[in-house]
Chain A
Amino acid sequence: MTIDGLLYIALVFTLVLGAAFPLGHYLAAIFEGRVQFLRKAESAFYRFSGIDPAREMRWQNYAATLILLSFIHFLLLYAILRLQFFLPLNPQHIAGMSPRLAFNTAASFTTNTNWQAYVPEAQISNGAQVFGLTVHMFISAAAGIACAAAVMRAFCAGGLTSLGNFYVDLTRVTFYLLIPVSLIAAILLVAAGVPQSFGPFITAHTINAGLQTIAIGPVALQEAIKEFGTNGGGFFNANSAHPFENPNALTNLFENWLDLVIGFALPIAFGIMLRDKPQGRALMAAMAIILATACIGTYAAEQAGNPLHIAAGVSAHDGNYEGKEVRFGIPASATFNVSATGTSTGAVDSFTDSYTPLGGAIPLFLMQIGEVTPGGVGSGFYTIIIFALLAVFVAGLMVGRTPEYLGKKIQSREIKLAMLGVLVLTLFILGGAGFSLVTKSGLASLANAGPHGLSEMLYAWSSATENNGSAMAGLSADTPLLDYGLGAAMLFGRFAFMIPVLAIAGGLAAKPKLASSAGSFPTTGPLFIGLLIGVIIILGGLQFLPADTLGPLAEHYLLAAGKTF
């Protein structure tokens, strides 16, 4: 590792955390209805859509509305993908997707996963990219943030019957946060050389008289929301390693920042809504400590290099450059990929498949622990709240009171629902990967044998279930097993977790908010932060350790012994 590399990581964190505080204030103002500069457009939109913004929703309504909207959008996207050949803005005359690929892709973009089993340049039209995928990048991100806002409200007072209005939350988040920031970010990206065009691909005459097709399209806007809404679905197959998505080191830093900033701002917004800022800062600190450790860990593993390369005469000083863009270098690549797996973005500017086993194990583990560092927009927040509830439940008794978090008693109902969520995630990750590895069809998808193949499959199921969307590129994902299986994993990982979370929020909202005293369990300060990190790793991650041992850990020790796959 070099000082420059560590300074780069420090720079990313400084920029992100520095911006998270003001953004957190702004988010709280959006959730509390205090931001109103687009009031006219907002109310016109409500009138046009027949939404009654004053209607308060119980958790059941809130969840049902969210699911229904997601379902309709899922069907719409499925239809667009199947019928894209007949739809406008398809200059390359790309054919409609197969049913299973369309199912997988629709599930992927409805759940904010952006797992891409298709090759964008060849299998999706510009029109479908913009009106199918980019639209969903906004909506799925806004839905996640809305759900987080609902969870925040549950803790703010006692005896609440309502969690807010889903439509209003969705609209306000889209109008006041996602659209304006994405537009500005898109303009900045265009200025840096990212294309934004509806024209056909460019055919270039190369100097040796050949013809080269250069794919272009409305890239900049999709790139902006891809990062800002922790979506991750690249316009191009090469994702953020492609120079048209991510031209230089500066855009790389900017995209990395966009990717992380909402996730870290949400706990700050929570503290403001609670009128108890240290509570939000404690959650943010836990997220940041895990992510920073992960960034440094991956950077160290990559910088240490591949022992076989070194044995073959590559300078150890260069580190493992395989699969990385020279315009970014190792520290920026490692930080970008770790950030994108820590946020459920799944964007990549270098290829995890080519990382050293440990360098790849860290992103894998960040997904398995539930995407809380800081996680997907909204989902990272409500997931860490679940972990905070579990942490307080396990250790809270040790202060001699029955457990309570932020004045809300944690009882059987909350634990039942929280464990249900944890079980669903574990079932799809371990069950899916374990099953795929013993079936012929699953094995056929693997590009590599041995532990590396196991890592690829485990990574795919972890990524889908946790709605991350990144992949170890070796895997061929467009097979019936993986299209349907991972599609189901994405849907269950999103909604079978979100519904229990909203149910918990609804139950907690109705409970009285107990006054805190010197006898209450402290949920701020280093002690709680340490406890929360411990619980995230022990309750969220240990169950994956046996499988991880047979994947990246085995590969690491075998690589050290000179064996490759």
Chain B
Amino acid sequence: MTTTNAETITLLDGDILRRASLDAIAKLNPITLMRNPVIFVTEIIALLVTIVGAQDLTNANGAAFPLTIAAWLWLTVLFATFAEAVAEGRGRARAESLKRARSDVSAKLLADPEHPEKFTEIAATDLKMGDIVLVSAGDLVPSDGEIITGVASVNESAITGESAPVMRESGGDRSAVTGGTMVVSDWLIVRITADAGATFLDRMIALVEGAERRKTPNEIALNILLAGLTLVFLLAVVTLVGFGQYSGAKLSIPVLAALLVCLIPTTIGGLLSAIGIAGMDRLVRFNVVATSGRAVEAAGDVDALLLDKTGTITFGNRMASGFYPTYGVAARDLAEASAIASLGDDTPEGRSILAFARDKFNLSPEMPANAQIIGFTANTRMSGLDFAGLSFRKGAVESVLKTLAAPPDAAVHEIVARISRAGSTPLGVTANGRLLGVIELKDIVKPGIKARFADLRGMGIRTVMVTGDNRVTAAAIAAEAGVDEYIAEATPQNKLDYIRKMQAEGRLVAMCGDGTNDAPALAQADVGVAMQTGTQAAREAGNMVDLDSDPTKLIEIVEIGKQLLITRGALTTFSIANDISKYFAILPAIFLPTYPALGALNIMQLRSPESAILSAVIFNALIIVVLVPLALRGVKFRAIGAAALLRRNLLVYGVGGIIAPFIGIKAIDILLGIFHIFS
């Protein structure tokens, strides 16, 4: 959404496809293929039909048909392994760019952190957990660690793709450094927190490559269903030998093999792991790294999102939103004084006052010559501008009131109270010691966020705003942003309690956090997204890391999780719905010699039994390739509520899955007819 770390990889990149074609053949190894029961069975059947075809060939026994069937069965297997190889290849391409950051690095090992000048230079790969190293300006951080002393700016583009350096310092929430990032200025003394090969970068590469990919719980369950269906259909086809023998039908092995392979769910069996890998890959493209596929699935299930107010719901800095003059002062005069008082104020608030005065009264005062800027101090809590004997100030109302020559009229207190009640901050404005009025500084809710929350509500997801503000402020902003609930005066403990309470009600909770004190809540949440800028403790506790450190992404993460599940469900439904048409293609064809009357079931009017069987097998193989882009891209998620989503997807993939193969098989049969193949 914001930055992409690797160069954008097109859906079907030429290099990836070439490499994937080779990998697809390597993946035919039955020992590795056994992880995928449906495709494994298909391979065994393909082998069997090949042997039968070879025998027929040596016996000069019409081998064309069995060998053609065998070829298409092999292609079915190859297409499945190819789909997986393509998905892996895309991950690998991303991993390559990460690996460049892990070039040979040396580390300055310190024997004693008190004496940073005495170091020994060793290879980064020899570092152990607990070692203490010095990282000077221009050095790559040798491994993950926690800063003990020092403040430095660090370029983390190797990990995040963001080239602007970030500040890292000991203590607090910015104390973690990541191996492979570069110290740009100053120096750091770092305690190493990961052994070689187990650093964040290493894990990221492994995850992105899919090397450590383990099946997720839902994938395991789905695999069991597919294996079960395969067994059921195996029974149906094997026992058909008995029924056939009784009926006087001679059923050859290639024909039974074709029937079996068409009935078992090869489409989803072939695409299942590609869907999973592609789902992880989509997250990576969003610059989010999940530590497990399980976390991505959980993201789809989330019922409640805990969102930090600042930066996610509001812009994070308050902006001027109203001028309230005291009795007898024109609003325009107040605006002008406010603008002048803010001329020297470079904070976002100051700039917002200038912008507001310009928008509202078309005022854009110039900085007068010889003006003296009065900066904000914690003591005075005011800032302003002095020039030509004039003095303009703005600041916290209580502080401003203390500087007044005469007490203000009572109406001012009323204005101040009203602004506070609305969750905004009042600023007093004075000119030459006289109170002109009050500026309202408001936490501005991001445009569009309310609609976004409404969408989430439509999906059954509650949004919970977490803020350190007091209840009054929190309630006002919560109402404006349209969140379902808020936690005011939030502390790590009450966040944790809230998550536990939601979970006890049977809801799954997602949150994001960066500080060490967020770690317990991140660990407790079902989906915990840690910010890359956060502490090591937070990154360990969460099950995802957002490399852009953008808390808004929680919403996208949920959508990616849902998209992964929808894609898996859609292709499963499609695959199973396909079976109906294949019966109408193959059953009349194989029983026609025995009971010519069963030709009535050949509703597709396929030209010959051989052509019918072959068309079904070809369709079954090609549909895998046709669906590879969909598996990689994912079925689009729409926030229209579960019932509408189900209706839509059931229509497209369920009913579509019933109808599509009728058309496909008929089309292939016509094509085969044009070329006079088995007609």
Residues of the A chain whose Cβ atoms lie less than 8 Å from the Cβ of B52:
none
| Minimum CB–CB distance for A510 against chain B, Å | 13
CB nearest neighbor in B for A543: B236
* B608-644 Cβ-contact flags toward A at 8 Å (1 or 0): 0000000000000000000000000000010001110
Judged by a CB distance under 8 angstroms, whether A399 is at the interface is: yes
Which partner residue on chain B sits nearest A514 by CB separation?
Answer: B506
From residue 382 to 407 of chain A, which have CB atoms closer than 8 A to chain B? 390, 393-403, 407
- Contact between chains at B580 and A527 (CB < 8 Å): no
Query: Are A547 and B236 in contact (CB-based, < 8 A)?
Result: yes
20 contacting pairs across A/B (C-beta < 8 A): A394-B569, A395-B569, A395-B654, A398-B566, A398-B569, A400-B300, A400-B561, A411-B217, A412-B220, A415-B225, A419-B231, A521-B642, A527-B646, A539-B229, A546-B259, A549-B601, A551-B243, A554-B247, A557-B600, A561-B597
Any chain B CB within 8 A of the CB of A204? no
The CA of A290 and the CA of B228, in the complex, are separated in Å by 25
Residues of A within 8 A of B228 (CB): 415-416, 419-420, 422-423
A538 near B563 with CB under 8 A, answer no
Of B69-77, B367-375, B443-451, B455-463, the segment with at least 4 beta carbons within 8 Å of chain A is: B455-463
Q: Which B residues form the contact surface with A (CB < 8 A)?
A: 217-218, 220-222, 224-225, 227-229, 231-233, 235-247, 249, 259, 263, 297, 300-301, 303, 457-462, 505-508, 561-563, 565-566, 568-570, 572-573, 576-577, 579-580, 583, 587, 591, 594-595, 597-598, 600-601, 637, 641-643, 645-647, 649-650, 653-654
Query: Which of A70-78, A161-169, A275-283, A433-441 lies on the face that meets chain B?
Result: A433-441
Residues of B close to A427: CB separation below 8 A: 235
Residues of A within 8 A of B225 (CB): 390, 393-394, 415, 419
Given A394-B569, A434-B243, CB of A407 within 8 Å of CB of B506: yes
Whether the pair B245, A402 counts as a contact (CB closer than 8 A) is: no
Contacting residues, chain A, for B459 (C-beta < 8 A): 400, 518-519
Partner of A438, one of B237, B246, B595: B246
Contact A400 B645 (CB under 8 A): yes
CA distance A515 to B457 in the complex (A): 14
Give the distance to chain A from B602, nearest Cβ to Cβ, in Å.
11
- Minimum distance in angstroms from A554 CB to a CB of chain B: 5
CB neighbors of B among A432-454 (8 A): 433-435, 437-438, 443, 450-451, 453-454
Q: Closest approach, in angstroms, between the C-beta of B206 and any C-beta of chain A?
A: 25
Scan residues 322-345 of chain A and give those whose CB is less than 8 A from a CB of chain B.
none
Instruction: Determine whether the beta carbon of B235 is less than 8 Å from that of A399.
Output: no
Residues of B within 8 A of A557 (CB): 595, 597-598, 600-601
The interface residues of chain A lying within 8 Å CB-to-CB of B222 are: 393, 415
The reply to whether the CB of A410 lies closer than 8 angstroms to some CB of chain B is yes
Q: Do A546 and B654 have beta carbons less than 8 Å apart?
A: no
Instruction: Provide the residues of chain B in CB contact with A521, threshold 8 Å.
Output: 642, 646
In-complex Cβ contact of A415 among B221, B231, B573 (8 A): B221
In Å, the complex CA distance between A515 and B460 comes to 10
Q: Is A531 an interface position by the 8 A CB rule? A: yes
Judge if A481 is at the interface, Cβ distance under 8 Å. no
A64 at the interface (CB under 8 A from B): no
Chain A residues within an 8 Å CB radius of B303: 514-515, 517, 519
Residue from B217, B508, B566 within 8 A of A399 (CB atoms): B566
List the A side residues contacting B301 at CB < 8 Å: 401-402
Which chain B positions have C-beta within 8 A of A7?
A: none
Check A433 against B233 for contact (C-beta < 8 Å): no
Find the residue from B222, B242, B461, B568 having the highest chain A CB count within 10 A: B242
Give CA–CA (A539, B243) in the complex, Å. 21
Task: Note all chain A residues with C-beta closer than 8 A to B300.
Answer: 400-402
Cα-based distance from A204 to B235 in the complex (angstroms)? 54
User: How far is it, in angstroms, between the C-alpha of A402 and the C-alpha of B580 when the chains are bound?
Assistant: 26
A251 within 8 Å of B by Cβ?
no
- Closest beta carbon of chain A to B36's beta carbon, Å: 16
**Do A394 and B241 form a contact, CB below 8 Å, given A401-B562, A514-B506, A557-B597?**
no
Are the CB atoms of A554 and B597 closer together than 8 Å? yes
With contact pairs A400-B645, A427-B235, A518-B642 given, residues A538 and B579 touching in the complex (Cβ less than 8 Å): yes
Q: How far is the CA of A393 from the CA of B217 in the complex (A)?
A: 13
- In the complex, chain A residues 476-514 whose Cβ is within 8 Å of any chain B Cβ: 512-514
Q: Check B597 against A522 for contact (C-beta < 8 Å).
A: no
Q: Are A158 and B506 in contact (CB under 8 A)?
A: yes
Asked if A180 CB lies within 8 Å of chain B CBs, one says no
User: In the bound complex, what is the Cα–Cα distance between A544 and B236 (angstroms)?
Assistant: 7
> With the chains together, A403 CA to B577 CA distance in Å?
19
A550 touches B645 (CB 8 A): no
When chains A and B are docked, how far (Å) is the Cα of A426 from the Cα of B645? 34
A395-B650 in contact given A400-B566, A518-B459, A525-B643 (Cβ < 8 Å): yes
Q: How far is the CB of B129 from chain A (nearest CB, A)?
A: 36
- The yes or no answer to A545 lying at the interface (CB within 8 A) is yes
CA of A545 to CA of B581, assembled, Å: 12
Minimal Cβ-Cβ distance residue in A for B251: A546
What bracket does the count of chain A residues touching chain B fall in?
Answer: 35 or more
B460 touches A549 (CB 8 A): no
Partner of A398, one of B246, B591, B653: B653
Residue A520 at the chain B interface, CB threshold 8 Å: yes
Known: A398-B573, A521-B646, A546-B583. 11 other contacts (CB 8 A): A397-B218, A400-B459, A412-B221, A414-B221, A415-B222, A419-B225, A426-B235, A433-B239, A519-B461, A522-B643, A547-B243
Which has the most chain B C-beta neighbours within 10 Å: A402, A426, A454, A514? Answer: A402
Q: Which residues of B contact A407 (CB under 8 A)?
A: 506
Assess the A395–B646 pair: CB atoms within 8 A: yes
Cβ contact within 8 Å between A538 and B645 = no
Q: Which residue of the partner chain B has the closest CB to A397?
A: B569
| 6 tightest Cβ-Cβ pairs between the two chains A and B | A519-B460, A397-B569, A419-B228, A400-B562, A517-B460, A434-B242
From A414, A415, A518, A542, contact of B580 by CB (8 A): A542
Task: State A410–B301 Cα separation when bound (angstroms).
Answer: 13
The chain B residue with its CB closest to the CB of A542 is B579
On whether the beta carbons of B647 and A547 are closer than 8 Å, the reply is no
Let me know if A51 is at the binding interface, CB within 8 A.
no
- Chain B CB within 8 A of A430 CB: yes
Given A426-B236, A520-B642, A542-B580, also A411-B506 (CB < 8 A): no
A549 touches B587 (CB 8 A): yes
For the complex, what is the distance from the CA of A445 to the CA of B364, rounded to whole Å?
A: 105
Residues from chain A with a CB closer than 8 A to the CB of B458 are 518
Q: Complex Cα distance A400/B641, Å? A: 10
- Chain B residues with CB under 8 A of A543: 232-233, 235-236
Interface presence of A83 (CB below 8 A): no
Whether the Cβ atoms of A513 and B647 lie closer than 8 Å is no
Residue contact A430 to B239, C-beta cutoff 8 Å: yes
CA gap between A414 and B225 in the complex, in Å: 10
Given A515-B505, A517-B303, A549-B591, is A399 in contact with B646 using a C-beta cutoff of 8 Å?
Answer: yes
- Taking CB atoms, residues of chain A closer than 8 Å to B229 are 419, 539
For residue A553, CB closer than 8 A to chain B, the reply is yes
Say yes or no: is A122 at the interface (Cβ < 8 Å to chain B): no
Binary interface encoding of chain A residues 295-326 relative to chain B, with 1 for a CB under 8 A from any of its CBs, else 0: 00000000000000000000000000000000
A399 and B506 form a contact (CB under 8 A): no
Q: What's the Cα separation between A515 and B240 when bound, in Å? A: 46
Q: What CA separation (Å) do A538 and B576 show in the bound complex?
A: 8
Among A430, A520, A561, contact of B236 (Cβ-Cβ < 8 Å)? A430
Query: Within the assembled complex, what's the spacing in Å between the Cα atoms of A542 and B654?
Result: 16
The residue in chain A whose Cβ has the minimal distance to the Cβ of B221 is A412
Report the nearest B residue to A431, measured CB to CB: B239
Is B233's CB under 8 angstroms from A545's CB? no
A403's nearest neighbour on chain B, judged by CB, is B218
In the complex, which residue of chain B has the Cβ closest to the Cβ of A516?
A: B460
Chain B residues with CB under 8 A of A513: 506
- The residues of B that contact A390 with a CB separation of less than 8 Å are 225
Known: A437-B242, A520-B460. A416 touches B642 (CB 8 A): no
* B237 CB contacts on chain A under 8 angstroms: 546
Q: Which residues of B contact A433 (CB under 8 A)?
A: 239, 242-243
Contact check: which of A434, A443, A517 meets B241 at CB < 8 Å? Answer: A434
A332 to B: closest C-beta gap in Å: 31
